[in-house]
Amino acid sequence: MTFSVPALPYTYEALNPHVDTETMVKHHDFHHNAYVTNLNNAVTAQNCTLDLNSIVAKAGQLGAAIRNNGGGHYNHSLFWKMMAPIGTSNVKPTGLLAKKIDEDFGSFDTFKKEFTTAAITRFGSGWAWLGVGEQGKLAVSSTPNQDNPLMEGLVDKTMIPILGLDVWEHAYYLKYQNRRPEYIENWWNVVNWDKVVQYYDDYASKGEVVPIDA
């Protein structure tokens, strides 16, 4: 099976000033592309015919090259869609997800603080996540490198991710240098809550993994 980099759902400059144009070009066209190239090489070398969801689910059995690059491809394919230009999405979650956040975290502000803390305190490179875990409960977690919460046995909390934030330095260093907290604070302005709500309603709330083409 051959994998490819999905096109961005907006222009490179669409997330300015919060995520700058040069970062988007390098992040999408170079970093994501490298994960896909290396993943294709790895699956060919190992004669692996699994689709991407299966690769992520079985990452612990497939070796470092497929685990790291498969995770990188899956994470980024969702990440681009989890952001949107200002004014094109609701600024907060709505509907059932909004109610569930209040139920499981106490309030949206409490959730946001917990997620931000997970992102800031992730040592080195990795991701912060909101997902649906055991018994349908929402939870926040962070993972190292290109791991994600679907990688059962490899992460602290197994859950279906519906929102993720890349805190690798390549996601923010050109604009924010070492100021990760500033990057995270500004990133909240471009979260595509309409897409996150869709991921919850259509997939995660039903115990289904979000496909990368959704």
* Cα–Cα dist 54/70, whole Å: 10
Q: What's the pLDDT score for residue 213? A: 82
Q: Work out the percent of the chain whose per-residue pLDDT is above 90.
A: 95
Residue 95 within any structural domain of the chain: yes
- pLDDT at position 156, please? 87
Query: How many structural domains does the chain have?
Result: 1
CA distance 189 to 193: 10
Whether residue 9 is contained in a domain is answered as no
pLDDT digits (tens, 9 = 90+) for 63-94: 999 999 999 999 999 999 999 999 999 999 99
For every residue of 134-199, which 3-state class applies, written as one string? HHHCEEEEEEECCCCCCCCCCCCCCCEEEEEEECCHHHCHHHHCCCHHHHHHHHHHHECHHHHHHH
Q: Is residue 7 one of the residues assigned to a domain?
A: no
Q: What residue numbers does the annotated binding site cover? A: 27, 76, 166, 170
- Give dist(CA 55, CA 172) in Å, integer: 28
Does residue 14 form part of some domain?
A: no
| pLDDT score, position 1 | 79
For the chain, list residues with pLDDT below 70. Answer: none
Could you read off the pLDDT of 44-69 as tens digits, one per residue? 999 999 999 999 999 999 999 999 99
The order of strands in the sheet holding 138-144 is: 138-144, 126-132, 160-166
The answer to whether residue 31 is domain-embedded is yes
DSSP label at residue 132: E
Residues of the binding site for Mn(2+): 27, 76, 166, 170
CATH number where 49 lies: 3.55.40.20
Q: In this structure, is residue 5 part of a structural domain? A: no
**Domain region containing 25:** 21-214
- Between CA 192 and CA 170 the distance in angstroms is 21
Asked, for residue 13, whether it belongs to a domain, the answer is no
Give the integer Cα–Cα distance in Å for 141 and 92: 20
Q: What is the pLDDT of residue 197?
A: 98
pLDDT at 143: 97
The answer to the question of residue 2 being in a domain is: no
